[in-house]
Structure formats: structure tokens, C-alpha cells
Amino acid sequence: MPGNKTVSDSHIFQFKNCRILRNHSIFVEDLWVRDGKIIDPEKLFYVEKGYADFQIDCKNAIIAPGFIDVQINGGFGIDFSSNFDDIEGGVQKVAKGILQHGCTSFCPTIISSSKEVYKKVLPKIKIKAGGRDGAEILGVHVEGPFISKEKRGAHLLENMATYDNGFSDVLDMYHDISSVRIVTLAPELPRSLDVIREFVDRGVVVSLGHSMASLSQGEEAVKHGASFITHLFNAMLPFHHRDPHLVGLLASYKHPPDLRIIYYGIISDGIHTNPCAERIAHRTHAKGSVLVTDAVAAMGLPSGTHRTGTQMIEIQDKRALIAGTDTLCGR
């Protein structure tokens, strides 16, 4: 058999004794990789006459695509919305830390904040390729402040805002949206449809959440370009048989013909969302399901009380609560 240098200048890796996730099932077989891409071993053997330069024993571990987290507020003691001393270093610390949990790309999420905070933080978080030093930074998710006061959850009331003057208020609030890739807003706010259309035209995914919206208001938002729902079931009106509210978007027939899928984030931790509710959502609209952590700075910290940004958070029984309350604030 010829040396691999006659086949390719790149090394070929054979992962042995591994389980592979493919088409929603687990298979026991080897995996062959060259230049970071999976290759067909039959072509390697019989056409290229090549072989593995390195064999790696996976010891029955599962090899699967890396996780993508589109809603993560921080972790390992870092809060993206308040880590002003070293914003870039804080983001990188989280990017490095989540690799050990199988997350290979993420959207640092900034919760409802003041203009001054956005001006400090948003220009400092840059889109960045991933590698062994950290997960890929896909862009920022700004969750608020254009959300419902009644459904603000752990967001501070004094940071709530409206866009009565349209998109000019958005730009005035955020200052720099060059790295923003997702925005969560409440579609029932005045001028929302204009704002949604402008965000979509700029390549930003509009997600509906922290909202008192009816189903019809959600459907109008989708017609204008919204395509995502932020942490389904949480911080929104519950399903009702006469008005299913935003939850009803999973089964609505009024979506534009060119928009095939409405995606929805769901916090599948058994705390934010009951497993029964998760199954209802998945059986209703499986293709739109997107698991998110909604992790906060307390992720990776021990039980007890911790300061994250301007708030005190208490970790008890795997729950992250605003200290002294029963209000969940991520995980």
C-alpha cells in the first residue's frame, strides 16, 4: 500500500470504537477524517489506496456535530451584559469553557440594558471563527430591551424601552449593530412591524419573546419577517384554546409561502419547561425545535449566592433564581 503522501498531503485520522449519530440514530462504526472533513473509507481504500496516519480509540464515546447555542447570557462567572473590565476576555473565557460541553459555536446574549451598556459592550463582541481555543462566535443575540414589561422575567423594569419613532430608536439604543445576528422583541409594541422588516432587511434574525402578544399579532410579525420564538412557553402568555398566543405559531397555517419553518428555542432542563410541554412542542413542530441553555454567569459555579452583573443569583437544586424570589433567571 502506498504511503499517504502519494495520496494526499493531509493526515488521515481513523476514529475507532465510536458511536456515530446519523439520521437521528446511533450507529457503531469507525469514522474517517481528512482536512477536517468526513471521508468515505471505501474510496480511500479501493480508489486512493490510502490508509490512516493516526488511529484514535474513542472507547465507545459518541461522535456528533457540535452544539450551537443561540441564547447564552454568560457562564463561569462571566456576565456578557456587565463584564465591562475585560469584555473580550470574558467572552473568550466562556467560549473556551463551553467546548468541554460539546458546544462549538454560540451567540453571546445581551439582556435588556441601558444605552450606555450597549455602547460599551456591542462593539467589543466580534464575530470570530472557532478552534481549540474556543467556540465560534456567530454574532450577538440582543434579548430586549424592546419587550413587554409584564413579561420581562428577570429583566430590569428600568431598562424596558419602546421604538415609537421606529428603527431610529433601535439605532439610538444599540449604537452599533454590526455584530448583531438575533434580536428578541415583543411584536405587540407599536411600530414593531416596521422594525421587524428593517431588521430582516439588514440580515438580523427577529425572534418573538418576552411578550403579551396574541396569535394574530404573532402571525403578522411572521408575515413581516420574524422567524424565531425565544424560549418557548417562558415569558409569554400560555396556550389557550381560544387564543393560543405565540405558542400557536407552531401550528399556524398563515405563514408566508416562502417561509417554510418557524424555529423556536426551548430550554430543555426539566425546570423551565416541563418534559410533557417539550414533547407537545416537538410532536407539533419537530423541525423547528432549537435547544438553548439560556445560561447565566452562574453556569459552572457551585450552589449558593453569586453576584452576576447588577443582580444577586441564588443557585439551589440546579435552579438559578433571582436571590430571595422564585423567579428563574436562566440556568
Active site residue 69: no
DSSP, res 46: I
In whole angstroms, give the CA distance from residue 62 to residue 27: 9
* DSSP strand pairing (67-72 vs 62-63): unpaired
In whole angstroms, give the CA distance from residue 91 to residue 80: 7
Cis preceding-peptide flag for 190 (omega within 30 of 0): no
**Residues that constitute the known binding site for Zn(2+):** 143, 210, 231
Identify which of 156, 150, 293 has the alpha carbon closest to the alpha carbon of residue 235.
150
Angle, CA of 174, 89 and 139, to the nearest 5°: 40
| Sign of the alpha-carbon torsion through 316, 305, 118, 135 | negative
Query: What's the chain's length in residues?
Result: 331
State how far the alpha carbon of 297 is from the alpha carbons of 33, 114, 129, in Å: 36, 19, 23
Tell me which of 176, 294, 317, 326 is the catalytic residue. Answer: 294
- What radius of gyration do the chain's Cα atoms show? 22
Burial of 144-163, coded b for 16+ CB within 10 Å and e otherwise, reads: bbbbbeebbbbbbeebbbbb
By annotation, the residues acting in catalysis are 294
